Amino acid sequence: MAVVRYIAGRLAFLIPQIIGIVLVSFLLIKAVPGDPATLMLGPMATPQTIAELRAQLGLDKPLPVQFLIYVDKLAHGNLGTSWQTTRPVLDDLRVRFPATLELVTYGMLLALVIGIPLGVASALGKRGPLAKLGGFYGLVAGALPDFWLALILIYIFYSLLGWVASPIGRIDVTVTTPHMITGFYTVDSLLTGNWEAFRSSVHHLILPVLTLGLVNAGPILKMTQATMERTLEADFSLYGRLCGLPEKLVIRRAFRNALPSVITIVSVLYGFLIGGAVLIEIVFSWGGAGQYAVQGVLNSDFNPVLGFVIFSALFSLVVYLIVDLIYLAIDPRIRR
Amino acid sequence: MRPLPLTSPGGPTAPAGRRTPGAKVKFATRYFLRLLRTHPSYAAGYVIVTVVVLVAIAAPVIAPYSPITADPSVYLQGPSLAHPFGTDNTGMDVLSRVIYAPRIDLAIAVIGTAISAIIGTLLGAWVGYFQGTPGIRNIASGTTMRAADVLQAFPVFVFAIALVAVFGQSIDSVIFAIAFVNIPIYLRLMRSQVLSIRRMRYVEAAFVSGMPDRFIIRDHIVPNAIGPVLAQLSVNIGWSILLTAGLSFVGAGVRAPTPEWGAMIATGFPNVMTGQWWPSVFPGLALAVTVYGFALIGTSIEFMADPRRRRTLAAAQVSA
């Protein structure tokens, strides 16, 4: 019962936040110079047709009314149309969001695999070479422009060595894309037993995932190290050692207590990467949601931008909610 | 009732006290040099940033060619004696452009970070000081925090691009976008500091003695809370350089032919696929080293702002 109330409390907190996000992005987009009707009709349009389209789009109404119209449409799942793809934004995002999510999820997993062990190891050997390496890695990973690292990896593994598929898109153009179930090519191709598509999509994932993993392991490493250093010196660890617990057990308990902050940084990074992987998407022509939004901004096509912002905000909120539930599961103090 | 202590328990940075200003500076300098000796990587950070700044200032003297003049007869040539970093696909000298670029990148990052730090710190001090006090000011600070929540829920990069689109593509817009997306960081940092400091006895004492709120904030809160903000500044400048380069890379920041690292990497991008790595690799390397330098300085400031570590080093200094 307490759990339900906890979640309900969190959700009640989210609703004003979502309204705020929609409002800010709406105002931001209204502030962009240029009249969409003029842009859509091109230079040959007569003032009359422009006025007609403006009326049709609701652009002749005052701003608050326009906002209400937008929210009403939003509530019915209508995110508008993109004039670049001439398709409803919701349909576009349904294909592109999983693409971004697939990339980011694998990148995040790789970052965890690199960051946590290195972080724990450098916390254990406080002045040793591993800690030095960890500190160095953390700073360097934070300093590398990810889009540049992606280019270097492309140069080495594609141009020089030829080990990976050409760094364009999610799958070879000659391979039929797997039937969409989850939107993750790797998962869908496995589910449908399409081995050729599986191999091709894995090949296309290698470099972008490697880039994201290498760069984002930095913050995870730093957080793991800092928290582990603290929990290893905490009173409960000292007490454990005094009681004669084997060091292995002390470390395990310290790690368990360091987990909440590691999970926090992972959730923050995950939410950040949905938009933050944009540059990687562009380098690899990934066709994901971030790339879609950036092209929207650059070409004054704003429905995709709003749609993307709302999608990624919702995604972050869901991630935070899941994280809260994980806290609840791993930290008995919250349950009380 | 709680007895009033006669001596202040001291804040995070307890004032050095009765030393004369001259001796204080001398002590600080010696301490700083000692820190650099014991941590050579910090020294490397200061060297990197100094060199980059000097190079940016002296660019017209150092650069062998004009950074924006293309020579089509030598396009896409590999590194050679005449062009140590090679030339790009229009025939511009990559080295000269790499040398000129920090003028743009550093200026944008430093100004943008400074604006966000000033606004964010003041707002954060105000919010932290008045949060929980009855009245309109509590509501205002609550509203400010919720607004920061909303701003931080946005995908940073897309938000920055949208801001640049709203204000038109120019260097001013990039600076504004960077300042805007960074404000919540300082706001939160300062607020959390102030929340703990305002319960300190010396703040209570100032309040009881009738000091107006704005003077308490100015004389007691801000000086004691500023440490972590300073450490964040340097790291944040590095991060802003990365953001500037990223914006230019997608075509929403500084435009070619203005020499800028991110835009240069973007220009060289198609060439990397076909094996001409130099137009992209060198600007990226310069970018990464610069950001690394700022990160090292940030770590060293963090070290100095940590009273525990500082005491250890100072004790070693006295006994030495």
- Extract long-range pairs of A173-181: CB within 8 Å, 24+ residues apart: A175/A200, A180/A95
Question: Which residue from A299, A303, A290, A311 is spatially nearest to A88, judged by alpha carbons?
Answer: A303
Between positions 275 and 314 of B, the ones with CB within 8 A of A are 275, 277, 280-281, 284, 287-289, 291-292, 295-296, 299
Closest Cβ–Cβ partner in B166, B250, B277 for A28: B166
In A238-277, the residues whose Cβ lies within 8 Å of chain B are 272, 274-276
Give the pLDDT of residue A138. 86
Are B150 and A21 within 8 A, CB to CB?
yes
Distance from C-alpha of A124 to C-alpha of A196, rounded to nearest angstrom:
44
| A33, A144, A276 member nearest B288 (Cβ) | A144
- Put simply, whether B11 touches A (Cβ < 8 Å) is no
Q: What is the model's pTM?
A: 0.84
| Burial class, A253, CB count within 10 angstroms (exposed 0-12 / middle 13-18 / buried 19+) | middle
Burial of A46 (0-12, 13-18, 19+ CB in 10 A): exposed
A173 in contact with B, Cβ within 8 Å: no
The predicted structure's pLDDT at residue A243: 93
Cβ contacts (< 8 Å) between B287 and chain A: which residues? 145, 148
CA distance B211 to B232: 30
Are the C-beta atoms of B159 and B146 separated by less than 8 Å?
no
Q: Does A219 touch chain B (CB under 8 A)?
A: no
> What string of pLDDT tens digits covers the 336 residues of chain A?
667 777 777 777 777 777 888 888 888 777 777 677 777 777 777 888 888 877 877 777 888 888 888 888 888 888 888 877 888 889 889 889 999 999 999 999 999 999 999 999 888 887 778 888 888 888 888 888 999 999 999 999 988 888 887 788 888 877 777 877 888 888 888 888 888 888 888 889 999 999 999 999 999 998 898 899 889 988 999 999 999 999 899 999 999 888 888 888 888 888 888 878 889 999 998 888 888 888 888 777 778 888 888 888 788 778 877 887 888 788 777 666
Q: Mutate one of B41, B144, B157, B274 to test the A interface: name it (highest A CB count within 10 A).
A: B157
- Complex prediction ipTM: 0.83
Rounded Cα distance between B234 and B237, Å, is 5
Whole-angstrom CA distances from B313 to A128, A151, B25, B304, B319 are 20, 43, 17, 9, 10
What's the half-sphere exposure (Cβ side, CA atoms, 13 Å) at B37?
A: 9
Stretch 111-170 of chain A: residues touching chain B, C-beta under 8 Å? 136, 139-140, 142-145, 147-148, 151-152, 154-155, 158-160, 167
Please indicate if any CB of chain A lies within 8 Å of the CB of B230. Answer: no
Distance CA A328, CA B180 (A): 35
In the block, tokens 């191999």 appear at A199
Q: Provide block-wise average pLDDT over 10 residues at a time, chain B (320 residues).
A: 43 50 79 84 92 93 87 83 87 90 94 95 89 82 83 80 83 92 91 85 90 87 82 89 92 86 90 87 94 91 74 63
| Closest A-chain CA to B149 | A17
Residues 6+ apart with CB under 8 A from B30: B317
Residues 110-169 of B with CB under 8 A from A: 146-147, 149-151, 153-159, 161-163, 165-166, 168
What count of CB pairs under 8 Å joins A to B? 146
Token couple for A140: 């360097």
Name the burial class of residue B217, with classes exposed (0-12), middle (13-18) and buried (19+) by CB atoms within 10 angstroms of its CB: buried
Q: Which CATH class is domain A97-290?
A: mainly alpha
Nearest chain B residue to A315 by CA distance is B153
Instruction: State how far the Cα of A331 lies from the Cα of A324, in Å rounded to an integer.
Output: 10
SS3 annotation, chain B: CCCCCCCCCCCCCCCCCCCCHHHHHHHHHHHHHHHHHHCHHHHHHHHHHHHHHHHHHCHHHHCCCCCCCCCHHHCCCCCCCCCCCCECCCCCEHHHHHHHHHHHHHHHHHHHHHHHHHHHHHHHHHHHHHCCCCCHHHHHHHHHHHHHHHHHHCCHHHHHHHHHHHHCCCHHHHHHHHHHHHHHHHHHHHHHHHHHHCCCHHHHHHHHCCCCHHHHHHHHHHHHHHHHHHHHHHHHHHHHHHHHHHHHHHCCCCCCCCCCHHHHHHHHHHHHHCCCCHHHHHHHHHHHHHHHHHHHHHHHHHHHHCHHHHHHHHHHHHHC
Contacts of B118 (CB under 8 A, 6+ apart): none
- The radius of gyration computed from the CA coordinates of chain A, to the nearest angstrom, equals 24
pLDDT at A85: 83
Domain boundaries, chain A: 97-290
Q: Do B281 and A155 touch (CB under 8 A)?
A: yes
- Cβ–Cβ under 8 Å, residues B191 and B124: yes
Whether B272 contacts chain A with CB within 8 A:
yes
Q: CA nearest A82: which of A313, A292, A315?
A: A292
Task: Say yes or no for a CB contact (<8 Å) between A278 and B245.
Answer: no
How far apart are the C-alpha atoms of B244 and B175, rounded to whole Å? 9
